[in-house]
Amino acid sequence: MINKKLTLSIFITLFANPSIASEWPVGVTDKSSTVQNQSVSIPVISNDIGNHLEILSVNESSKKWGRITINADRKTLSYSPYKDFTGSDSFWYVLKDGEGRTNAAKVFVNVILSTPSSNWPVANTDTINADYGSVVKIAVLENDTGIGLKLAEVNEWSVNKGKAWISADNEISYQQYGEARGDQQDEFWYVFEDQWGRKNSAKVVVSLKESNNSSWPVGTPDTATASNGLRVNIPVLSNDIGSGLKIEGANEWSKEGGKTRIFGENIRYTPPADFSGTDSFWYQFVDEQGRTNSAKVSVEVSANTQKSVVEFCGNTYETDGTAANTQLSSLSPSEPVIFPSTEIKPTGVAGELGVISGRRYYLEGDVGSEQVLWMEVDGVLTKVSAVESDQPTAALGAYKGVFYFTQAGRYLFAHDGQQLVEQGDLLKDIVLYNAPSGIRQISDTSLYENTIERVDGQGDALHFSVKSKFIGSGLPHSYTTWWRISGDLDWSPVKLLRTGSNVASGVSISTTINNFYYFNGMDYFAYYYNGSFPNNGIREYQVKLADSGLEIDSAIGDVEKIIEDRGRLFVLTKYVPDGGRSEFPPIPSKLYVVGNGTTSKFVELATCPQ
């Protein structure tokens, strides 16, 4: 019998005199790894903070149905993955200190294949250009081949007065310490390993040139507006002066308590809750020679003074987004917010993939031979791309005038009429385990039948999924990875989440995701999890809020629809009966709103009886 997941409750007692009480114990997230079907002991208490700490309790079952037990020392836990499971798993434990005060922490476990892939990691030489005295970062693993690659070591000193070291982001930093002496060549070696610890090495060849003595980069102050207390993406580099500029860092918190986050050449600013007025923060940027400068960003934040009107459970509610100021109303809701469709309508013409912003895309060639993609505008033909594959070139969707398509059943491309950009290998970069220790690729793609398709969603974004169904011998299973493309992130795909389904003797696990909505820089979607086991079952109806793939909050309910009104997002859920099973309590219908600012949480406004 497989036990249900346990929900851990934490009860906190406040001391009357805090001046004589020691600090409350702090639980720190743990990460561990093991191989398929093998247990591991995890010293979870070792990184927690407090006096005389020990484990009080733990989830008996993990998120992916592994088994967890407390060891006799009450400092470590034993984790056993579910039979034949590989991927990322997690669970919670409760700790207590010598005064009986409690806290909790989450444990992530990466379970890898017990049998390494047959292919040893392959190393390839890297060539770069560098200036004297400047630091250059080198993504040396990008042209190496293997699963879960990470750097192991590097020559500290090169052969020609250079120094190299491993950076925190799994790249190598190189700097020339010799005096400027014209064009020179330097080289050094590095060692890397795959997720099974198998090693290889490669050489880096550096071409040195004297600096062109260009001017130091100049930072220019930026101004932006955050209307209705919503987030704003600020292209801070657009008015700065220099070559090859990149954002190097920014104040994590603004002067008034707002939050910043870097996305490529943009900084996303989240205003503090219930704030209006002028806020500010600083950012630092670097040019192609490693020279830095900084600039100030001022943001004018306006509060949302309008009230929203929403129909729910046969009633109409007027609200300012708080439960205290939500009441019945006779007003009528606004017209729904409509976004341009990302669907490419079929034309009915053989070989034609679609027409986007007056550009007609069509294919020449058959599957199994060279397929050439052409663009025709006003009778003028332009060759976009060509590939020889046994998989068809297929249209995915259109967003802001950009045509997205796939080639060879795995590569994603974007074409805006002028430029073709490869967005990535979908089977390498998308269909994989989201393991904390790095990227784990499906080792043998021939064992999976892959389907890449656009999915319906709301908000200013294009949503799509990659479904991989296992067709080999063994436990039947499938994976689906869900993605979003939005203009505020330079049209690059952002992974929302990855789900899986499998069927074994007496066990069936499935996950359904739908009702995608992109609003205020965050992703919202409905999540339904169903698990059937020999002696019990589990079901979860939730709506989730995620920030670029990181779950921020969730609420219970079967989503009926999601509505945007006057700068607020509302989630309406519907009643779910118990289905005649005692372990499935009925779920009432609820109306939620999402808080603005740094407090992005679901707030319950109303409940509807059955």
Q: What is the pLDDT of residues 487-530, one digit of tens each?
A: 766 677 888 888 877 666 666 777 889 999 999 999 999 999 88
The answer on pLDDT for 180 being more than 90 is no
CA distances for 53 relative to 13, 76, 104, 196, angstroms: 17, 11, 12, 34
The answer on pLDDT for 5 being more than 50 is no
pLDDT at residue 197, as a whole number: 84
**Opening angle at CA 436, ends 26 and 494, nearest 5:** 110
How far is the C-alpha of 198 from the C-alpha of 258, rounded, in Å?
45
Read off the pLDDT of each residue in 11-35 and give the average, rounded to a whole number. Answer: 63
The answer on pLDDT for 361 being more than 90 is yes
Fold of 30-112: Immunoglobulin-like (2.60.40)
Q: Helix (H) and strand (E) counts for the chain?
A: 1, 47
Read off the pLDDT of each residue in 263-267 and give the average, rounded to a whole number. Answer: 88
Read off the pLDDT of each residue in 395-407 and give the average, rounded to a whole number. Answer: 94
Determine contact, residues 390/367, Cβ cutoff 8 Å: yes
pLDDT at residue 468, as a whole number: 83
The answer on pLDDT for 158 being more than 90 is yes
Determine contact, residues 398/417, Cβ cutoff 8 Å: no
Tens of pLDDT, residue by residue over 94-107, are 999 988 888 888 99
Other beta carbons less than 10 A from residue 184's beta carbon: 18
Nearest to 485 by CA among 602, 595, 405: 405
- Which tokens sit at 424? 């990535």
The pLDDT-based confidence of 159 (bands split at 50, 70, 90) is very high
Determine contact, residues 459/518, Cβ cutoff 8 Å: yes
Determine contact, residues 402/491, Cβ cutoff 8 Å: yes
Residue with tokens 């869900």: 482
How far is the C-alpha of 598 from the C-alpha of 580, rounded, in Å?
41
Q: Which of 14-23, 274-283, 344-353 has the lowest mean pLDDT?
A: 14-23
pLDDT at residue 506, as a whole number: 63
- Report residue 412: phi and psi, to 5°: -100, 130
* CATH number 2.60.40.10 is the correct assignment for the domain at 222-302: yes
Read off the pLDDT of each residue in 412-417 and give the average, rounded to a whole number. Answer: 93
Residue with tokens 């069927």: 503
- Which tokens sit at 485? 């493309």
Tens of pLDDT, residue by residue over 115-146, are 777 788 899 999 999 988 788 999 999 899 88
Residues 6+ apart with CB under 8 A from 380: none
Q: Where are the beta strands (DSSP E) in 101-250?
A: 102-112, 126-131, 135-138, 150-154, 162-166, 172-176, 184-193, 199-209, 222-226, 232-234, 246-250
**Mean of pLDDT over the chain:** 85
The answer on pLDDT for 435 being more than 90 is no
Whether the model clears a pTM of 0.85, i.e. scores above it, the answer is no
Strand arrangement of the beta sheet that strand 77-80 belongs to? 40-42, 77-80, 67-70
pLDDT at residue 489, as a whole number: 63
DSSP secondary structure letter of residue 81? P
> Which percentage of the chain shows pLDDT scores above 90?
52
The answer on pLDDT for 10 being more than 70 is no
pLDDT at residue 554, as a whole number: 93
CA distances for 336 relative to 319, 544, 603, angstroms: 17, 22, 21
Nearest to 268 by CA among 489, 566, 499: 489
The answer on pLDDT for 559 being more than 50 is yes
Q: Give the rounded distance of the alpha carbon of 413 from its chain centre.
A: 20
Exposed, middle or buried, 338 (CB in 10 Å: 0-12/13-18/19+)? exposed
Read off the pLDDT of each residue in 253-270 and give the average, rounded to a whole number. Answer: 92
> Which percentage of the chain shows pLDDT scores above 70?
89
Higher pLDDT, 609 or 513: 513
Exposed, middle or buried, 244 (CB in 10 Å: 0-12/13-18/19+)? exposed
Q: Where in the chain is the domain with CATH 2.60.40.10?
A: 30-112, 126-209, 222-302
- Which tokens sit at 365? 């060639």
pLDDT at residue 11, as a whole number: 32
The answer on pLDDT for 589 being more than 90 is yes
The answer on pLDDT for 456 being more than 70 is yes
Multiple choice CATH, 126-209, 2.60.40.10, 3.30.930.10, 3.30.1490.100, 3.30.565.10:
2.60.40.10
| Backbone Cα Rg of the chain | 27
The answer on pLDDT for 588 being more than 70 is yes
Determine contact, residues 361/349, Cβ cutoff 8 Å: no
Read off the pLDDT of each residue in 224-248 and give the average, rounded to a whole number. Answer: 93
Paired sense of beta strands 222-226 and 259-263, if any = unpaired
pLDDT at residue 101, as a whole number: 87
Determine contact, residues 145/166, Cβ cutoff 8 Å: no
